[in-house]
Amino acid sequence: MKNLRLSAAGALLAAMASFAHAGPLCTLVADAATGRPIVREGQCGERVTPASTFKIALSLMGYDAGVLRDAHAPTLAFKPGDPDWGGEAWHAPTDPARWMQYSVVWYSQRITHALGAERFRSYVRQFDYGNQDVAGDPGHDNGLDRAWILSSLRISPEEQVGFLRRLVNRQLPVSAHAFDMTARLTEVARLPGGWVVHGKTGAGAPGTLSPDGTWDQAHAYGWFVGWVTNGTKTYVFAHLLQDARIEPRPAGVRAREAVLDRLPALLPGDAG
């Protein structure tokens, strides 16, 4: 019994230690042309769920395949049974611009189902996106619905930056229209010096599929990934944090704020 108590205590201490440094896990900013980091902080090689940052990849797929046409077509309606945890914004008719703005999960699922499993898997493989595993939850055949949401698909900050470099350098096997529209949908801010920020947030709690569907909400991940450009100079970035407790504001929103607050001090005043 004593050994059992010691074992349990050791497991508890290990779990506490793993979250003792909860907060920023990685901040990585790199020159898009050369790949040279200008900031690299934390453990940037660990893979976690991409969550809604995967919408950048889905946008490229959707426009390349003709599933998406422009910023406002197609406009699709919410259906009973669609994911609705995003609140009222997810119940409204949704076009690509609104999909990206409000991070509407069911619209992502319409894109993946329109692509079909084989084409979806092929795009992820050609993009060399993370671990490339879009099978979904074991035994549930739900890869088209949630592979990127706390499931089989995992990506590290290093891999996010590599993917984004291929995007901004137009080295992915998609059309010019797909690159152009994805850049348009992801513009989120303008900074001093003429810098334009493109990016996408993501958030999700660690855990595994369980009968009651519970997840470790107290230790949520928050992503903000993207690129910032001015003239001919472009930098790509990935910021990943993990909470130490339940927070009142989404982790992805706080990740975005952290990046936008810090970027102006990192960027040269004139990129021309």
Specify the residue for token string 């329109």: 114
Closest alpha carbon to 83 in 97, 110, 104, 102: 104
Catalytic one of 7, 52, 103, 152: 52
User: β-strands 37-42, 233-242: how paired?
Assistant: unpaired
Identity at 35, one-letter amino acid code? G
Q: What 8-state DSSP symbol labels residue 128?
A: T
Phi and psi dihedrals of 269, rounded to 5? Answer: -70, -25
Instruction: Give the separation between CA 112 and CA 58, rounded to whole angstroms.
Output: 8
Give catalytic status of residue 52 as yes or no: yes
Instruction: Give the separation between CA 118 and CA 88, rounded to whole angstroms.
Output: 33
Instruction: Give the separation between CA 54 and CA 60, rounded to whole angstroms.
Output: 10
Non-local (6+) Cβ contacts of 71 within 8 A are: 95, 96, 97, 181, 184, 185
Residues acting as catalytic residues? 52
